[in-house]
A and B are shown apart, each in its own frame.
Chain A
């Protein structure tokens, strides 16, 4: 059969995936803390093409050259660029601004650094830490929290937000049962009650939101609901980080989705047209086959 037929079909499938990723970005234009995804495409492994009949000298495999027989889109990569901050004046909305630097490494605008040896370092990112119903830790940039009926801070999906002591953060006074519903966050991340007293954990330490630094954020598994988790087969370094300096928490703000609508529109059109072009190529192959099958050899 004609090799190009399958190449064009692979092209259609990859363009479809690219289109899916772009529509998903467009769908999440207004999702706080959403990180845009992009779909890199790669060619199939190269094949060495040889002539079937040998040359006059009796060699039976004269190489012609290399050929790729297709393209595939195998991964959706989140882009961890900082989203814009939007003021909501809601005391339970928090936004993270993170620009973590690593000593001796200069990151470019995409959060990547390539050493002269070819080694690539990715910029670490900061996340809010939450725990789901099964006690598993998850990380999120969506700081749109609220209080549940017990006075614990929860995400929109109902996961409990962790405090710096690693326990779910509760704004309920353990003695009186009253909920401190006017907490303020200081620059150093400590939550204070009206009147200036810091919230304290069981050990008497001041409490704040647990912010986790993830060294290579691309290794996190995207889960939906704004959550990421560590891949147990290939764990990535995580460590608590204190706000101030490179990581800042802003109360009363949310981090908007970092999707650019104009860019998305262009990407969508590009994916659609590339899909169309591949479809045309299939039609041309179809015509060639038509000729070969129905016209060649007709008397």
Chain B
């Protein structure tokens, strides 16, 4: 069969996927806390056509058999967790993590036995808000823009008394100041949980700027990650802090993505040329008896 055609066709598929990844990265260049993905290629399994002993003649360099490749495919899609730039917003409801950690968010879902419950998600997008708790007008709850509660180190949502000025310390401690009584001690309303995943490749994008633990590997959560501030404050040497009034920008670098885009487009062109060329060869073979 026409190897050339298969080679190029298979590679066009891979290049198309890479284009999709690049365009997704570029589309999210302004998405808070977005982490870019990176696709890389590998050549496809080589098949070896057997050759009789007579082919092993003097001057031959390679072992017997004609080895032929079958193009290239995407071998891995890596999530790149490099930090994005922190931008000051001045909004006290915006939080950014400086260091390798994620916020934990509870979303409605099903638990292990299939009953309605909560599922865990993680995010670097700290554009939170204080939401009203139904049936409890006295307290407000820290949630994401979508209204999913942000969890504290005690695995409960973080709630503060309504009408207070909220300050979050770098270690995640939430303080509620009562400005109507100057000088009074603030209420300690909890600690925002910071989770570090040992291997970010175990995370997958779950939409709405959230990550979830991929279920494929079956590795339990407590072996994949650690809580940095389980006791309320991060252990020394963890190099992580929460910055209030900042947001983390996407870690997509437009210059890198554009040059990647050019490389992929040119490779795409070259491969389609190869398809044309192998088509011409087939035409020539067809017209042997013109």
**Is A167 part of the binding interface, using a Cβ–Cβ cutoff of 8 Å?**
no
Residues of A within 8 A of B38 (CB): 88, 90
Residues of A within 8 A of B69 (CB): 24, 27-28, 37, 222, 224
User: Quick one: closest B residue to A176, CB to CB?
Assistant: B226
CB distance from B86 to the nearest CB of A (A): 19
User: Quick one: closest B residue to A225, CB to CB?
Assistant: B42
Residues of B within 8 A of A279 (CB): 284-285, 287-288
CB-contacts of A133-191 with B (<8 A): 142, 144, 146-151, 156-157, 172, 177-179, 181
Question: In the complex the two chains form, what is the Cα distance from A28 to B72 in whole Å?
Answer: 6
User: Quick one: closest A residue to B217, CB to CB?
Assistant: A149
Are B201 and A147 in contact, CB atoms less than 8 angstroms apart? Answer: yes
Are A30 and B41 in contact, CB atoms less than 8 angstroms apart? Answer: yes
Are B68 and A20 in contact, CB atoms less than 8 angstroms apart? Answer: yes
Residues of A within 8 A of B100 (CB): 181
| Dominant secondary structure at the B interface | mixed
**Is B148 part of the binding interface, using a Cβ–Cβ cutoff of 8 Å?**
no
CB distance from A110 to the nearest CB of B (A): 11
Select A24's contact among B7, B40, B78, B288, beta carbons within 8 Å: B7
Question: In the complex the two chains form, what is the Cα distance from A142 to B43 in whole Å?
Answer: 10
Question: In the complex the two chains form, what is the Cα distance from A95 to B284 in whole Å?
Answer: 43
**Is B114 part of the binding interface, using a Cβ–Cβ cutoff of 8 Å?**
no
Chain B residues bordering chain A, tally (CB within 8 A): 68
**Is A275 part of the binding interface, using a Cβ–Cβ cutoff of 8 Å?**
yes
The 8 A CB mask of B275-288 against A (1 = contact, 0 = none) is: 00110110011011
Are B281 and A275 in contact, CB atoms less than 8 angstroms apart? Answer: yes
**Is A26 part of the binding interface, using a Cβ–Cβ cutoff of 8 Å?**
yes
Are A219 and B199 in contact, CB atoms less than 8 angstroms apart? Answer: no
Question: In the complex the two chains form, what is the Cα distance from A220 to B80 in whole Å?
Answer: 34
The 8 A CB mask of B59-81 against A (1 = contact, 0 = none) is: 01111011111111001101010
CB-contacts of A14-35 with B (<8 A): 16-17, 19-24, 26-32, 34
Question: In the complex the two chains form, what is the Cα distance from A17 to B7 in whole Å?
Answer: 12
CB distance from A133 to the nearest CB of B (A): 14
CB-contacts of A198-240 with B (<8 A): 218-226, 231, 233-234
Are B46 and A224 in contact, CB atoms less than 8 angstroms apart? Answer: yes
The 8 A CB mask of B1-24 against A (1 = contact, 0 = none) is: 011100110110001001000000
Question: In the complex the two chains form, what is the Cα distance from A216 to B55 in whole Å?
Answer: 20
Are B75 and A156 in contact, CB atoms less than 8 angstroms apart? Answer: yes
Known: A16-B281, A37-B69. A23 touches B45 (CB 8 A): no
Residues of A within 8 A of B61 (CB): 75, 77, 218
**Is A276 part of the binding interface, using a Cβ–Cβ cutoff of 8 Å?**
yes
Chain-B contact segment, one of A53-61, A99-107, A265-273: A265-273
Known: A20-B7, A90-B38, A149-B217. A74 touches B72 (CB 8 A): no
Are A75 and B66 in contact, CB atoms less than 8 angstroms apart? Answer: yes
Are A76 and B66 in contact, CB atoms less than 8 angstroms apart? Answer: yes
Question: In the complex the two chains form, what is the Cα distance from A286 to B7 in whole Å?
Answer: 32
Are B41 and A12 in contact, CB atoms less than 8 angstroms apart? Answer: no
Chain-A contact segment, one of B137-145, B184-192, B266-274: B266-274
**Is B82 part of the binding interface, using a Cβ–Cβ cutoff of 8 Å?**
yes
**Is B290 part of the binding interface, using a Cβ–Cβ cutoff of 8 Å?**
yes
Residues of B within 8 A of A226 (CB): 42-43
Closest 4 CB pairs of A and B: A156-B75, A179-B198, A224-B45, A27-B11
Q: List 22 A-B contacts (CB under 8 A).
A: A20-B3, A23-B4, A23-B274, A24-B7, A26-B7, A26-B270, A31-B41, A75-B60, A76-B62, A76-B67, A148-B199, A149-B199, A149-B219, A151-B198, A156-B76, A178-B198, A220-B63, A221-B48, A224-B44, A272-B277, A275-B284, A283-B289
